Amino acid sequence: MIHLIILLLLATPFLGFTAGLFIEETNEKALSRLAIGSVIMQFILSSILTISWSIGGFQQINLSELNVFQNPSYHFFIDFLIDKISISFIQIGSFLALMVTIFSQYYLHREEGYKRFFLIILLFYFGYNVTILSGNFETLFLGWEILGISSFLLIAFYRHRYLPVKNAVKVFTIYRLGDVGLLLAMWLSHHFWHENVTFLKMSNANLFNEHIHEHSILGIFIALGVVLAASAKSAQFPFSFWLPRAMEGPTPSSAIFYGSLSVHMGVFLLLRIFPLIEFQLSVRILLIILGLFTFYVSTGISRVQSSIKAQVAYSSISHIGLMFVEIALGLHLLALIHFIGNAILRTYQLLISPSIVSYKIREQFYTFKPQTQTIENYFPKSWQYAMYLLCLKEWNLDSILYKYTWSPIKWLGKKLSFLTWKRSKYLIPFFLLSSLISYWVEKHFHYHLLPELSGGIALLFALKSFSEKKSAFNALFLVLFNHLFIALAVFFNEHLTWGEVLIYISGVLLSSILGFSILFFMKKKGEKLNLKRFHGHAYEYPHISIIFLIACLGLTGFPISPTFIGEDIIFSHIRDNQFILAMFVASSFVLDGLALIRIYSMLFLGPNSKTYHEVAYRNS
């Protein structure tokens, strides 16, 4: 019974998304009915799942659904887990999804992109369900990626404006930075457990204690990787600045994403892998410090915001910081109750935010309220002014992160200026020659630095692609060769079988062919393809932009191509003592994703570059 309910729960939003593709843009009634019908069914199924699980005695239920790939050392399978954590998140998620979807049918009436909004929302619900019901890291990462791209598309919903697109790319960079931690945690957990362990098995305290004593360093690194991913996803310090930027999308998407569900994914992740940090006091202390500092910083920033949506965003961040503290202290039930209350409150606040502003403007003219005493009034004036300015500038978190993270990466990429489009064509014989030389050297001398060398070359290609501004062709070509050199690095590290190489490379090659075909088509039409500014070609080529986005997602390893499985296979062949190689590969995957989304955004999103079209102002 539960097995069938889970399958229907996952299939409902996905089938709704698929059916919505065949409905005309102008048919708002059919689109809204399809979306509302899907979420009503989702709410009913989640309620039935909750009742069935309760009748069964509140026991943890693990369901292994599908064996995707298996070899002697690696097993990729889809797994689901039902317990109090997943039930709490799935139930509150389905309820809020229903409320927001019903609200959206009226709020977005006659809005350009009505169909696109509901399709992305249904895709988000599908990714949310996969993430919450996941029973292992692989299944969780599948849903995690869908949530990330859904966030990007909804922030950039007003895709012909400058600021929404810019902020969408900025938020996506933070998500990808967190993905580094999750990728490395998945890789290390494979070596920690010597298998693709399920979350149910991970919760076995005796078994975990045995492993943590044998591999204490690995356990700490896995926990730190997960903390990085959770902090980035839930906008904890030092990533707190991105959440208000994400409010550039429509109010309903802000409510469901950044008020209630998506922003709490970091809380869910920490609850799910708590057995990893339960016996590691240092990591729990780090979580407490992180949560308390985020609470302090975000509370101050929220009190000086002029925008109601930004104020709600920072208030939500501060409460999530407290949830991190509660989880670190082992107060899981309190954290779940806190999540439910915070999610409902923030959704309500964001949905009424457009009308409450009008109400407050009227109220201040008729009702005067003297300023009340606050704790700041007891501080010296110099302290008050300093704190006010610091909070007004949001502690300069955005500029600090850019200066010490993305600025050095772009600087390194610019130093590789010799990798132009004309010279990049010579990478094909260089790759073939490198492969032959590496194979001969490895076979005769067993030179063990070759994997790191190939991985380093791959990372250089990713760096150049990320910072490329002159040619979209060159950026896409460098991403392709980044993937090829990653395959080469791991091939000589663990000798992948040709079948495993084909799984990884097939998705890369097909997506590259599709991407280059579109670029050549756009060039033939005389369109600009440099990456120095937004061109907004989606205005005239909406269908072409969708196809190019699919090509970019296939190259990033999004779960629509074999490359998604291939990336896991690649990591399974990196040994636990090869941290440098793992960092090269993880960083390459992250930079590839950023470079491809940047290519797509620069070419197809933003204000149209042609002067005879309307151009939106830089500020929304």
Residue length of the chain: 620
Residue 134's φ and ψ, nearest 5 degrees, are -60, 145
pLDDT of 436: 63
CB-based contacts of 375, cutoff 8 Å, min separation 6: none
Distance between CA atoms of 300 and 620, rounded to whole angstroms? 25
Q: Cα–Cα–Cα angle for 118, 556, 424, nearest 5°? A: 135
CB-based contacts of 18, cutoff 8 Å, min separation 6: none
- 439 versus 499: the higher-pLDDT residue is 499
620 in helix, strand or coil?
Answer: coil
- Counting residues of the chain whose pLDDT is more than 90, the rounded percentage is 24
Q: Which of 138-142, 205-209, 451-455 has the lowest mean pLDDT?
A: 205-209
Which strand (E) or helix (H) includes residue 63?
strand 61-71
Distance between CA atoms of 62 and 594, rounded to whole angstroms? 35
600 in helix, strand or coil?
Answer: helix
Mean pLDDT within 215-223: 80
**Closest among 492, 550, 487, 485 to 517, alpha carbons compared:** 550
Sole residue written with tokens 């490359």: 563
What confidence category does residue 442 fall into, taking pLDDT thresholds of 50, 70 and 90? Answer: low
Condensed to tens digits (0 to 9), the pLDDT of residues 243-253 reads 888 888 788 88
pLDDT of 580: 86
Distance between CA atoms of 150 and 116, rounded to whole angstroms? 11
pLDDT of 362: 64
Cβ neighbours around 608 below 10 Å, total: 18
pLDDT of 201: 79
Distance between CA atoms of 87 and 48, rounded to whole angstroms? 11
**From residue 35, how far is each of 14, 39, 121, 189 by CA, in Å?**
11, 6, 8, 38
* 3-state secondary structure labels for all residues of 290-341: HHHHHHHHHHHHHCCCCCHHHHHHHHHHHHHHHHHHHHHCCCHHHHHHHHHH
Distance between CA atoms of 277 and 260, rounded to whole angstroms? 25
pLDDT of 357: 65
What confidence category does residue 440 fall into, taking pLDDT thresholds of 50, 70 and 90? Answer: low
536 in helix, strand or coil?
Answer: coil
pLDDT of 211: 67
Given a cut of 50, whether residue 317 has pLDDT beyond it is: yes
Output the six-digit token pair for 401. 């992160």
Output the six-digit token pair for 222. 């896995």
Kindly report the pTM of this predicted structure.
Answer: 0.90
Give the type of residue at 82: I
Mean pLDDT within 456-466: 87
Range 425-431 contact pairs with CB under 8 angstroms and sequence separation of 24 or more: 425/477, 427/477, 427/481, 431/481, 431/484, 431/485, 431/488
Given a cut of 70, whether residue 437 has pLDDT beyond it is: no
Q: Which of 71-80, 236-245, 326-335, 597-606 has the lowest mean pLDDT?
A: 71-80
Given a cut of 60, whether residue 402 has pLDDT beyond it is: yes
Cβ(79)–Cβ(64) below 8 Å: yes
Given a cut of 80, whether residue 207 has pLDDT beyond it is: no
Condensed to tens digits (0 to 9), the pLDDT of residues 517-550 reads 999 999 998 888 888 888 888 888 988 999 999 9
- Counting residues of the chain whose pLDDT is more than 70, the rounded percentage is 88
Given a cut of 80, whether residue 191 has pLDDT beyond it is: no
Distance between CA atoms of 559 and 130, rounded to whole angstroms? 12
pLDDT of 620: 46
What confidence category does residue 597 fall into, taking pLDDT thresholds of 50, 70 and 90? Answer: very high
CB-based contacts of 524, cutoff 8 Å, min separation 6: none
Output the six-digit token pair for 110. 């006659």
- 445 versus 238: the higher-pLDDT residue is 238
The residues with which 198 forms a beta bridge, in sequence order, are 136
Mean pLDDT within 132-153: 89
**From residue 173, how far is each of 146, 164, 474 by CA, in Å?**
15, 14, 21
Condensed to tens digits (0 to 9), the pLDDT of residues 476-526 reads 988 998 888 888 888 777 667 778 888 888 889 999 999 999 999 999 988
Condensed to tens digits (0 to 9), the pLDDT of residues 364-394 reads 666 666 667 777 777 788 888 888 888 888 8
Range 180-183 contact pairs with CB under 8 angstroms and sequence separation of 24 or more: 180/225, 180/228, 180/586, 180/587, 180/590, 181/224, 181/225, 181/226, 181/227, 181/228, 181/229, 181/232, 182/137, 182/141, 182/144, 182/225, 182/226, 182/228, 182/229, 183/225, 183/571, 183/586, 183/589, 183/590
pLDDT of 269: 92
Taking the alpha carbons of 444, 446, 449, 455 in that order, is the dihedral positive or negative?
positive
What confidence category does residue 291 fall into, taking pLDDT thresholds of 50, 70 and 90? Answer: very high
pLDDT of 17: 92
The residues with which 77 forms a beta bridge, in sequence order, are 67
CB-based contacts of 360, cutoff 8 Å, min separation 6: none
Mean pLDDT within 390-406: 83
The residues with which 75 forms a beta bridge, in sequence order, are 70
- Please provide the average confidence, as pLDDT, over all residues in the chain: 84
